[in-house]
Amino acid sequence: MKRRAILAFTLDHPGVLNKISMLIRKKMYNVDTLTVCRSRIPGVSRMTITLEENDEAKIIHIIKQLEKFTEVISAKELDTEHSYWREVAIVKLEVDAAHLDEFHGRYNFQILEQKSEDVHILQLAGSTRSIDAFLDEIGQEHIIEIARTGVTALEK
């Protein structure tokens, strides 16, 4: 399945997020990630919705349905070739510092705190693929806890 991102600008009103998520649920799509923040325009929110879908017609249908809502100012799909997609993860690991040093330079992470000699809290930033690769390489047995933001995207 192809990962797709829909960018929507909406009025910052109570219930808009619920309305949009209910539309997607009714169409039987599974939202992969959903991020929302204020835009630079007062009273307008910026929403990035990612989902897995190969069928172009279905994505176009969702966008047209979103645009019917009075609270939606605009909606469109973001092309991976013409946009940046990023995610942040905060990970608590039980791993010695020497093992962690092996990953510097290959992955974009920052040590936020060293809880003990072998317990570290990291912040990773980058593509979902990069974060997943780091987590796979470090090994599930070393991961104590993880929190991820979900994908946000911006046109080039």
Q: Give the pLDDT of residue 68.
A: 95
What domains are defined for the chain?
3-78 (3.30.70.260), 83-155 (3.30.70.1150)
Q: Give the pLDDT of residue 138.
A: 95
Q: Give the pLDDT of residue 82.
A: 93
**DSSP codes of every residue in 51-83:** EE---HHHHHHHHHHHHHSTTEEEEEEEPGGGE
Query: Which H or E element spans position 4?
Result: strand 3-11
pLDDT tens-place values along the chain, 156 residues long: 889 999 999 999 999 999 998 888 888 788 889 999 999 999 999 999 999 989 899 999 999 999 999 999 999 999 988 999 999 999 999 999 888 989 988 999 999 999 998 999 999 999 999 999 999 999 999 999 999 999 999 999
Q: Give the pLDDT of residue 80.
A: 86
Q: Give the pLDDT of residue 73.
A: 97
Q: Give the pLDDT of residue 137.
A: 95
- Spatial distance between the Cα atoms of 6 and 14, rounded to a whole number of angstroms: 21
Strand pairing of 109-114 and 119-126?
antiparallel
For residue 95, give the nearest of 104, 105, 84 by alpha carbon: 104
